Amino acid sequence: MIYFSSSLDYYTGEEDVAARGSADLNLTREYLRLKVVEDGYKLKWVTEPLSGEIHSGDVLAVKLKLNGAKARHLMIEDPIPAGAEQVESVGNLNLDYSSGRDWSDWYSSREFRDNRTVFFPGLF
């Protein structure tokens, strides 16, 4: 049995690099500010577009949009900005993405690593 794997890394010195994609795979990222608000006696979370300065203790959410042709195996690495860390909950509030939002847990497995989050989608 033979196994084969390949990888391509491309780095550029340009300051502003335009987003690129193809019909086979297109991934976009959007940063949002997450706020916990009171709704009667319950706490809930809402997101708003990220604007202004980011301060220590701010909770951010990253929204990834993945479009493309069907793939059997795919791994997506989302880098974590310097000084940030990943969280699954804020206090007693679980960040459940399937609670009536247009978000979902579209991956079959997820790993938090030191400088990135890695997603392993099921059949895409």
Q: What is the pTM of this model?
A: 0.65
- Indicate whether 53 belongs to any domain: yes
Whether 13 is in a domain gets the answer: no
**pLDDT at residue 100, rounded to an integer:** 47
Phi and psi torsions of 16, nearest 5°: -110, 115
Q: Give the CA angle between residues 97, 38, 84 to the nearest 5°.
A: 50
In the chain, the amino acid numbered 68 is G
Quick one: pLDDT at residue 123?
A: 53
Q: Report which secondary-structure segment, H or E, holds 57.
A: none
Predicted local distance difference test score (pLDDT) of residue 124:
47
Residue 4 lies in a domain: no
Which residue is listed with tokens 């391509």? Answer: 8
Residue 61: both structure tokens together: 């959410």
Provide block-wise average pLDDT over 10 residues at a time, the chain (124 residues). Answer: 72 73 81 84 83 88 82 82 79 57 61 85 60
Question: Is 16 within the bounds of a domain?
Answer: no
The answer to the question of residue 56 being in a domain is yes
Residue 89 lies in a domain: yes
Containing structural domain, residue 88: 25-121
The pLDDT score that the predictor gives to residue 99 is: 47
What's the number of domains the chain is made of? 1
